[in-house]
Amino acid sequence: MKQNMIVEDWGLVDYAEGYDRQRQCVQRVIEGAVDHLIFCEHPPVLTLGRMTNPDSLLYQRHDIEERGVTIINVDRGGDVTLHAPGQLIVYPIFNLNKHGKDLKAYMEKLEEVAVDLLKNFGILAISISGQRGVFVGDDKIISIGVGVRKWVTYHGLGINVATDLSLFNLIKPCGLNVCMTSMQKLKGHPVSMKDVKAKVVELFQKRFL
């Protein structure tokens, strides 16, 4: 059987290093390599998307950095997002020429994967029209932001499995007046990162392969 998706787990990786590795992977896929699904976690970092409003940072940059949180401008859509240990980062490096060449449909599929993932862990989540990401009630639990180069995707999803939610008090997540939550907080007990990764792979295979 021909392999049509490679899954990689980079573990805890500095954001800048992870971004550089993403770009290398994007180039390989552009040149004909199969799709990649990459997992990782990042040390505390705020990434500022192309649409970031300065008011989305609730403290001065030096005050944020004094808390050990790096701030980086990135080439994805959307506003500010926080990454930190306990948040599972999913980077699909997918060639949309093979998946309909429709960015809006791709984003909707990512949200469907996210909703189905949480459902499998007994968490009822929804997507909201006009707001990228996935919500449980009024709280946001999964952030989504993508970039595309020659129809190959990068960036992706930030799934709050056991993230330190107090770090989100530094920002308006995605520019919204919203509280963030996590799978661990909602379940009231630790959630296996290994089990979450396995289910993500299964759901991506279901939606994209």
Quote the CA–CA distance of 76 and 73 in Å, as a whole number: 9
Going by C-alpha positions, the residue among 10, 30, 34, 23 that lies closest to residue 155 is 23
DSSP3 helix / strand / coil % (the chain, rounded to 5): 35, 30, 30
Name the token pair of 39. 């997992």
Name the token pair of 166. 């107090």
User: Are 148 and 77 contacting, i.e. CB atoms less than 8 angstroms apart?
Assistant: no
Quote the CA–CA distance of 65 and 134 in Å, as a whole number: 28
Residue 16: strand pairing partners? none
Residues marked active site are found at: 174
